[in-house]
Amino acid sequence: MSILILGGNGQVGFELQRALAPLGKCIAPGRQSLDLKDAAAVVRLLDELQPSLIANAAAWTTVDAAEKARDEAFRLNAELPAQLADYCVSHSATLIHYSSDYVYPGDGDMAWRESSAPGPLSVYGESKLAGDEAVLTSGADALIFRTSWVYSARGHNFMKTMLRLAREREALSIVGDQIGAPTPARLIAEVTLLALKQQAEGRLTSGLYHLAPRGETSWHGFAQAIFRHAEVLGEALRIQPDQVVSIPTANYPTPAHRPLNSRLSLDKVEQALGITLPDWESQLQLTLAELLEAA
């Protein structure tokens, strides 16, 4: 099997290269060899490689910057997935695409289901929703995984930023009224591999699935857990978990609006795959251990 991984240098893309290697040859072109903003370049690559599986982990992920770069965000988050889906339809290939909790309006306190009405609050959310809809209506053999608060032991993410700040400061103020589930890229890749195996056996149908760990927390709670588990692992920090102050989103204005409720129902994916997803805090412990052991 020839596997094309887009966004291979990112958090999810890196983990996909490790997870999907047993399935076949993985090709993950970097930015220097493939400009994903160039639709013609993408066509040339697809014609050259003729992949039978495409894992699209590429995206415009700078949420605030998207407010002033709408065209660029829509190119990567909407037009590119549509382009990949069209290729998969015409070449009988499979597409894996990753989406975001930001497609939902973020109100209430109930977990969003795959059937919940979307209502993005930002250009980023609008672009991700447009990409999802393009893939779903294309007729492609595609799996879409909507996830939340992605982080890993590499790249730039909240966990690594918090650890850096905790070595420098004795107090921090973190938003406490946005609720969701921090999702490690490693878990996304592992579930993707399981889904592909079950799909090949005819036990999983194409479509949209939520993918995140069980449980919920706030960014404030996430930060406290990062510091608590880092200390257990022997990391010397200047700040203590109880020195992290919880503040409302209103006190931390950003160009793009963030959803307050990013809870995702996991019933569909767990039933489809016959699994129980792990809780977010146990996943944090594993990811922290990976990061600190490599340091």
Q: What is the mean pLDDT of the chain?
A: 95
Query: Which residue ranges make up each domain of the chain?
Result: 2-154+183-214+264-278
pTM for the whole thing? 0.95
Computed on alpha carbons and rounded to an integer, the radius of gyration of the chain in Å comes to: 19
- What is the number of other CB atoms lying within 10 angstroms of the CB of residue 158? 16
Give catalytic residues, as residue numbers: 124
Evaluate if residue 295 carries a pLDDT over 70. no
DSSP-assigned letters across all residues of 135-150: HHHHT-EEEEEEE-SE
What dihedral angle (degrees, nearest 10) is formed by the CA atoms of 81, 86, 87, 92?
A: 120
Average pLDDT on 127-134 reads: 98
CB 12 within 8 A of CB 99: no
The CATH architecture annotation of domain 2-154+183-214+264-278 reads 3-Layer(aba) Sandwich (3.40)
Q: What would the pLDDT profile of 40-91 be if each residue is shown by its tens digit?
A: 999 999 999 999 999 999 999 999 999 999 999 999 999 999 999 999 999 9
Q: Going by DSSP bridges, is the β-strand pair 53-56/25-27 parallel, antiparallel, or unpaired?
A: unpaired
